[in-house]
Amino acid sequence: MTAKKLHYFSGITITVFIVFHLFNHLYGLLGPTAHIEMMQNLRTVYRNVIAESILLLAVAAQVTTGIKLFIIKRKSATGFFDKLQIWTGLYLAFFLVMHLGAVFSGRFLLNLDTNFYFGVAGLNIFPLNLFFIPYYSLAIISFFGHLSVVHSKKAKNDLFGLKPEKQSYGILIIGILLTLVILYGLTNGFMGVEIPNEYNLGVGL
Ligand code: HEM
């Protein structure tokens, strides 16, 4: 199988998880307890050896093939969507390695429940939030940016009178708006969430 095909299939696998994962974070608008309850429900699906192994293998395939495709395409990328594709892809590769490294260190080295408080600790502690706000925001925007590029290359038909190119910009704009709403929820309306002491150590990445 070529790197491009593998990247496509592992991308679909990861996307299924990310859609539910971001829905979980959107649910944070209802407060930490609601977020934790939703995560517990979702964990019944992905927190088991089979689902997590598939997800981690898909992430490994996505990152390695993604870096390979970045190197191949770096020089020939021209135009907005080509450039968006390689740079959002590179950021997602960096983010996925860091984020999973943090989640698994929190779980197995620090023995923490990697729940809402683990995820949002860095977003709510100054000056760490100066790093974590752009770090998480760029991840969500890059995810939608990467999807918008796929759409721009595959879509052929107008939708609601919009040409495929406009639809693709729409996906990117939805991603930016969703990022703002998710961060609003995870920071208690930008007022700050009080982080339990044990999570001040194990700041999520
Ligand atoms: C606001 C942004 C985000 C926060 C606060 C966050 C937080 C978390 C937390 C707390 C976990 C652990 C889940 C658990 O223990 O059940 C987790 C897992 C994970 N996150 Fe995120 N995340 C964010 C965005 C993202 C994005 C944008 C991606 C992908 C591009 C992503 C990919 C993953 C993956 C693959 C896992 C591992 C799931 C597993 O195998 O247990 N996250 N995240």
pLDDT band at 136 (very low <50, low <70, confident <90, very high): very high
Phi, psi for residue 146 in degrees, rounded to 5: -65, -40
- DSSP label at residue 194: P
What is the residue-averaged pLDDT of the chain? 96
Who's near 156: CB < 8 A, 6+ residues apart?
164
C-alpha 168: how far from chain center? 18
Read off the pTM: 0.96
* Residue matched to tokens 């095909």: 5
CA distance 123 to 107: 19
Domain enclosing residue 41, as ranges: 3-201
Q: Using a 6 Å cutoff on CB, does residue 99 contact ligand 1?
A: yes
Overall number of domains in the chain:
1
Q: Which residue has the least CA distance to atom 9 on ligand 1?
A: 119
Give the tens place of pLDDT for each residue, 9-21: 999 999 999 999 9
- Residue 75 Cα to ligand 1 midpoint, Å, equals 32
Do the beta carbons of residue 85 and residue 142 sit within 8 Å?
Answer: no
